[in-house]
Each structure stands twice: as structure tokens, then as C-alpha cells.
Structure 1
């Protein structure tokens, strides 16, 4: 069943722009500078969390000026819905990271259930250290673990339903050039 494209277009027309493209790009560059300073000599394996992390990963890794191995993993709780459910692995990492440092890149740290599960998976599978980079850290008190913090954060935002730069609204608008909030949410 295809989405109601009129509704999908209306969502964008009515959305509030929280961060424009220039602001997001500047935040990505600041993240890259910190990662370059801290991980350049550590030979990390970098994993993009699909699908949300696709855009931020592409933008971020192209600014990392050291050798790295890049792959992806796909774990989700949303399945194109607006609320999360049980963690579902679509693709586990294929590059070995035993006794290696790992950098996980994702679009957002919201409640953190998915990111926490990915971190634990990497630790139990033999990573020597796990670092995390997220484009957006949503500010609220519903985190899966109070101690769960990303090592590298591009932007912090209010507790609203957001989309753009990899984050979606019902599977759409990952391609939006900016970060937008759903009207009324």
C-alpha cells in the first residue's frame, strides 16, 4: 500500500524548519574535526546505521582524513512507523571488528534503544572500544539508559517529531535538506 503523497507533501509544507542546510553542514564539519583529532590513529571500523544514518555517514566520512574501513548495519525499531517497537536486525555487520575500535554513525539519539543494542552487540562481538556519532540528540527524559550519551553530537533539538537528513516521516523526507519538525508535534 503506497503512502498518501498529498499528505506527505502537506507534512513538509506545514513543517517547522529547526535547522537549515548550512547549520547542519557546519555541525557535521565540527563533528568531523573532533573525530579526526581523536580517532585518526586508532584504525576504526566505521558502521553506518541504515537507513537513517545513510546521509550523515556519507557527509561525515568524506571529511575524515585518515584510513578507515566502512560498512553498514541495519537494526530498526520503527519499520516506517512513527513509534518504536521491538529491535529487528535486517543486516548485521559483515566486516570483522574483533580487537578493533568501532565508530557507529546514526541519524538521531532519541530514546536510544536501538543505539544501546548496537553498542552492546559490538562490545560482545569483540570490539576493543565503541564510539558513537549522531547528527541529532533529542532532549528529553525518556532515554533507554540515563548514562547513554553519544561521543560525537552534531546538534541538540527539542522533543518534537523530526525528519530530514536521514530521519524520516513514514519512510519519506529522509532527503530533506534541513531538519524539520512535524507541525504540532
Structure 2
């Protein structure tokens, strides 16, 4: 399942990042987390739907005791952010006094991450950090303390490895960008 180009909803996408490149970036993030969270037991809060592949591969690369839970938020429609973040599925875990790492597939405008940092931070965790596979620095509209970044990328619309275009494209092991 590695075609040169893919078509989703009539839009063409070309190869951008291979599964091997993604794996190397994830391992670098995991190596930092293993070092910086040694002796701690962080709770990974994976943001659905997009981060499920990243969260699974990141967790497999962690050698520290850790837990994972999921939160679902929505802020995208088609290929652009709506600018409005709606929490769809909330956390049930107690965060107070815990080391919490938000695991996100991509941070672009930062609206979703700002809301999550504010919401989760109100629960008084011992620490609250962000691990994102992709960051689009030129799109950021908020100052965000993103400590763990797999790859900084330009403002291209990408799909694959959990990222979608109106529900399609998440299943590809590689990442493709819109042509």
C-alpha cells in the first residue's frame, strides 16, 4: 500500500515522508522522554482521532512505566481549521499531581493545544508537556510550550499515518502532501 500518488475525495496527494523517516522521528522523541521521565510514571493523553498511530508507536518505544488515555476533540473541517475547538470525549482519569504528556499528531494553529493545555492544566498536574509528531511553526497563532517535536514542517496539508482528509487517508503508513 505505497502508491506514488493517492487520491482522496478527488484531491491528489504526493509522497512526503516515509514510514522509516516517521519511525526515526518518533524514536528521537521517545529517547528524550525515556531520559527526562526516568523515575516518573507519566500519563500519556492521546488526542483522537489523528494521534492514534503516533501514540501507539511512541508508547511502544518508551522504556519507562507509563499509562495512556484518550481525549477526542474536533477543530477541522476539510483541509482547514474551523478555529473552533469542541471537546467531544473527556478524560476520566485524575490528573492532579501526575506527570501528563499530551500526545498530538499535528499542531498548526495551536487552537486545540491551547484549549487542552488550559483545560488539563486546571486539574493541577505535577507537570504538563506536549509531544507532537508534527509542528507547523508558521501557522501558530498561540505561544505554546511544545517541548517534544518529531518534525517541524511547512504549511502543507498532509495525510497518512493517522492524519486524514474528511475521514480518509489515516491508514497509510507514509505521509502524503496535497499537490
Q: TM-score, normalised by structure 2?
A: 0.90
Cα deviation digits, residues 84-139 of structure 1 (max 9, x gap):
22211111111111111100101001111101110111110221211111111113
Partner SS state of residue 130, structure 2: strand
Query: Which of structure 1's runs of 4+ aligned residues deviate more than 6 A?
Result: none
Check the 8 A contact 1:133/1:152 in 2, yes or no: yes
Partner SS state of residue 62, structure 1: helix
Query: C-alpha displacement at 1:81, in angstroms?
Result: 2.6
| Structure 2 residue aligned with 1:3 | none
Residue 116, structure 1, aligned to residue 114, structure 2: yes
Q: Which runs of 5+ in 2 are unaligned?
A: 1-5
Aligned-residue CA RMSD (Å): 1.7
Residue 157, structure 1, aligned to residue 132, structure 2: no
Pick the structure with more strand per residue. 2
The one of 58, 69, 72 aligned to 1:71: 69
| Structure 2 residue aligned with 1:62 | 60
Partner SS state of residue 57, structure 1: helix
The one of 170, 174, 181 aligned to 2:177: 181
Query: C-alpha displacement at 1:7, in angstroms?
Result: 5.5
Q: TM-score, normalised by structure 1?
A: 0.87
